[in-house]
Structure 1
C-alpha cells in the first residue's frame, strides 16, 4: 500500500488559515460582562482596601486597614475559624459523600428514592436551613435536646455554647451540602469499568482490596472536584452561619465573611473591603496549590 507523505508546514498553515465558525464580535458580550462584573470590581476592591472611604469621600491610608484587621482579636478569631470551618466541612463531605455513593450504587432496595432524599437538602436555601436548625437545636425547647432529655441525657447548647457553636454549624453545612458530593462520587463510580472488578475477583481480591486498589484511585478526579468545591464553599461561607449564630456567641463562630459583614454594618467600609481582599487571597492561596496537588498526573514508566 502506498504511503502518502505529510508536509508539516502545510498542515500548520491550514490550521492557521482555518477560521472560527463564529464571528469575533460574538465574544464581545461575554467579554464586557466579565470586565464589568468581575475585573472592574476586583481591581476596585484592591484599591479601596487601602483607603478609608464612604459614598462621599475617599482617603488613602496605606496598609492601616490590614494592620487593624489582623490586630483586633475578633478579626483574628474569624480568620482562624475560617480555616477550621473550611477544612472541617470539606473533609466530612469527602468521607460521607464517598460512603453514601458506595451505598447508593450497591444493590440496595429503594436506592433511587434514597438518592433523592440525600440530594434534597441541596435544593433548600441556606437561610431556610439555618432558621430550621436554629429551632431544632434550641437548648431548651428544641426537638434534639427534648429527645435527649427523654433518654435522661442533658443536651448542650448546640448554637449557644462557645465550644459547640462552630462545630454545630459545620455539621449543618455538611448535612446540606453532602448531596452534591454524593452525586459527584456516584458519577465517578459509574465511570469505572467493571472489567477491573471482574479481574480482581478472579485474582481473589475482597471488597476492601477492591476499594483500596481500584475504587479509591479511580475516583480521584471526583475527589478532587469535591474537595475543591467544598473547600471554596467552606472558606467563603456566610449565609448559614449568619442565619444560625450570627457569629456568636461572642465571636466564637465568626468567619472572615461574617466579620466583613459586621464591619460593613458598622460603617467601616475600608476595613471590610480589606477583609474581602484578605478572603480572596486566602482562598486563592489555598485552592491553587490544592488543585495542583489533586490534579497532577504521575507518569509511570
Structure 2
C-alpha cells in the first residue's frame, strides 16, 4: 500500500495558522471572557451570570427585533434592486461603464463618512432632502428624529451604500449565462419579461444566494452606520443588538458586552447556517 505524501498539505499550513490566530483563538477567548467579570487586569469566573443579565435587559427584545427587521429589509432591497440594476447595466445602455462606476462608488466610501453626510442631509429643518421636498410643496418628515422612520431611514442609506456590491455580483452572474438560452427562448416566442423570469432569475441563482447571505450577515452585525446616524435613537427605536452591546462596553461592563457578542455570534450562526444548507439543498435538487 502506497502512503500519500504529506507534502501537499503543507500548503494549507499558512492559511491554517492565520485562521487559528485571527478567528479560532479570539472566538474561544470571547466564549471564556463571557463567563467572567473582567477588566484589563483581572478576570473573575461568574458562570452564566453575564448571559442572564444581558438577556434581562429591558430593551434587548426590541434590539433583536430591530436587528432582524434591519437585516431582512436591507438584504431584500439589495437583492431585488441589485438584480434590476445588473440587468439594466448589461443591456447595452449608453455610457453603461460610467453608470457601473457610479453605482459601485458608494461601496468604496467610508461608512462613517456616509453616515455623517446623510445625517446632515436628513436634518428635519436644514437638511437638503427636506429643503428640496419643501420646494415642491411637500412637508418632509423627521427622517432620523421620528421613532417610526429612524431605522428605515438608516436602512435606505445602507441600501444606497451597499447595492453596488450586489449589482457587481449579479453582473458577474449574468456574464456567466450563455446567450444560447436567450436565443432559444426568443425562438420560442418568449417576451423580455418571460425571459427575465424564466431564464435570467433561475440562472443567476448562485449570485442570488451570495447576495442574500452576505447582505444578511452584514445587516445582522451592522453597527457603524447606525451609530454614526442615530446612536440607536431617538430613544431606543433604532437600537440593534450591536449598538446595545457597545453601550454596555461604554459603561464598563466588559464581561456583559462580551456575552452580548457571543449571543450575536450565535444568532448569526443559527440564521445563516440553516439558510445556507437550505440554499445548497435546493440548488442540488434543481
TM-score class, shorter-chain normalisation, is: over 0.9
Q: Which residue of 2 aligns with 1:164?
A: 149
Find the counterpart in structure 1 of residue 206 from structure 2.
221
Helix, strand or coil at the partner of 1:59: strand
- Scaled by the length of structure 1, the TM-score of the pair is 0.90
Structure 1 residues 211-232: Cα deviation after superposition (integer angstroms, max 9, x where no partner):
1211111000000000011011
> Residue in 1 aligned with 2:258?
273
Q: Looking at CA atoms only, which structure, 1 or 2, has the larger radius of gyration?
A: 1
In structure 2, how many angstroms separate the alpha carbons of the residues matched to 1:50 and 1:272? 11
Distance 1:101 1:211 in 2: 12
Asked if the contact 1:49/1:271 (under 8 Å) is kept, the reply is yes
Q: Secondary structure at the match of 1:73?
A: coil
How far the C-alpha of 1:249 sits from its partner, in A, is 0.9
| Deviation sequence 1:267-297 (CA, Å, 0-9, x none) | 0111100000001001111111111122223
Per the alignment, residue 110 of structure 2 pairs with 125
Alpha carbons of 1:104 and 1:238: their partners in 2 closer, same or farther (altered >3 Å)? same
Question: Is 1:191 aligned with 2:158?
Answer: no
* Partner-residue secondary structure (3-state), 2:170: helix
User: What's the counterpart of residue 177 of structure 1?
Assistant: 162
What do you get for the CA RMSD once the two structures are aligned? 1.7
Mapped to 2, the partners of 1:164 and 1:191 lie a distance apart of 39
Which of residues 232, 235, 244 in structure 2 aligns to 1:247? 232
Partner Cα separation in structure 1 for residue 256 and residue 285 of structure 2? 47
Question: What is the aligned partner in structure 2 of residue 143 from structure 1?
Answer: 128
Distance in structure 2 (CA, Å) of the matches to 1:159 and 1:287: 30
User: Shift in Å at residue 51 of structure 1?
Assistant: 1.7
Could you tell me how far apart the structure 2 residues matched to 1:235 and 1:245 are? 17
SS of structure 2 residue aligned to 1:157:
coil
Q: Which residue of 1 aligns with 2:83?
A: 98
* Corresponding position of 1:43: 28
Cα distance in 1 for residues equivalent to 2:9 and 2:273: 34
User: Which range moves more in the overlay, 146-155 or 121-130?
Assistant: 146-155
Separation in 1, partners of 2:13, 2:180 = 48
Residue pairs, 1:283-294, within 5 angstroms: 283-294=268-279
SS, match of residue 195 in structure 1? helix
- Give the counterpart of 2:93 among 93, 97, 108: 108
* Matched positions, count: 285
The 1:298/1:38 distance shift into structure 2, 3 A limit, reads: closer
CA distance in 2, matches of 1:263, 1:294: 36
Deviations 1:55-112 (A, max 9, x none): 2332222222222222222222211111111111000000000000011011211111
Unmatched tracts of structure 2, length 5 or more:
none
Distance 1:113 1:27 in 2: 40
Q: CA deviation at 1:209?
A: 1.4
For residue 59 of structure 2, give the secondary structure of its aligned residue in structure 1: helix
Deviation at 1:30, TM superposition (A): 3.4
Report the more deviating stretch, 170-179 or 56-65.
56-65
Q: Once structures 1 and 2 are overlaid, which stretch shifts more, 103-112 or 70-79?
A: 70-79
Is 1:209 the equivalent of 2:160?
Answer: no
Other-structure match for 1:31: 16
Q: How big is the shift at 1:23?
A: 7.6
